[in-house]
Copies of this chain bind each other. A is one copy, B any other.
Amino acid sequence: MQSAAIKVSPAQIRSYGIGVSAGFIRPLVTRNYLAGTEIYAQGELAGELYVVEFGAVRIHRLLADGRRQVIAFHLAGETFGFESGGTRTFFAEAITATGIRPLGAAAGNLGTPELMALALRGMLKAQEHLLVIGRQCARERVAAFLLDMAERQGDDVTIELPMPRIDIADYLGLTIETVSRTFAKMRAQGIIELRGTRSVTLKKRDILTELCR
């Protein structure tokens, strides 16, 4: 369980403990997933919406020959699981050790205005991502990704990437090699700093911003 690629807080450990030990018949509030495990699969009956308690989730889809597109990443506090129709259209997997909490609402029913807003926000994100993937070069795509991750982590200068390079590549419509080379070039130019492979410090945010115009 501690094989998670990211540090686990005491609260998260506690959550794990509950999930593992307690034997209630009613489902536990938080469900826990190990790194790399499936939350739901394409084709399944659409279930509920979820909030990420800790960890990170990737939503993706596959082509017949294995090509993969990561549709979205979801970090702590974010909601996922919206569907249009009765079945799951995508796969959802835990990237690192992850806890999620089911919302009362079903995937296709937006009961409250808050949920509607979240659904519309999800649509917007997907549509904006279309511009990135459809019309920007590798360097610009990586810049957009880094800025997006930074914004979702409180606009800190140093950000943690919970996902491996291959996920970033599949999210940006690139190959792992291109992502790696782009990171390397940005580092060489002093735009970013890499501490290990999952930690990035944005040294020249203005240049990254400029790349996303």
Closest beta carbon of chain B to A92's beta carbon, Å: 13
Determine if A123 and B84 form an interchain contact, defined as CB atoms under 8 angstroms apart: yes
A127 close to chain B: CB less than 8 A: yes
A195 on the B face (CB < 8 A): no
How many copies of this chain does one complex carry? 2
Give min CB distance, A127 to chain B, whole Å: 5
Q: List 22 A-B contacts (CB under 8 A).
A: A61-B127, A61-B128, A69-B134, A71-B130, A71-B131, A72-B127, A84-B117, A89-B127, A89-B128, A90-B127, A108-B117, A108-B120, A109-B116, A110-B116, A110-B120, A116-B116, A119-B119, A119-B120, A126-B130, A130-B133, A133-B134, A134-B170
- 8 additional A-B residue pairs with CB within 8 Å, beyond A61-B127, A61-B131, A72-B127: A71-B131, A84-B120, A84-B124, A109-B116, A110-B110, A129-B130, A135-B170, A135-B173
> What residues of chain B lie closer than 8 Å to A113, measured between beta carbons?
109
Which residues on B sit within 8 Å (CB–CB) of A117? Answer: 84, 108
Closest to A171 in B: B134
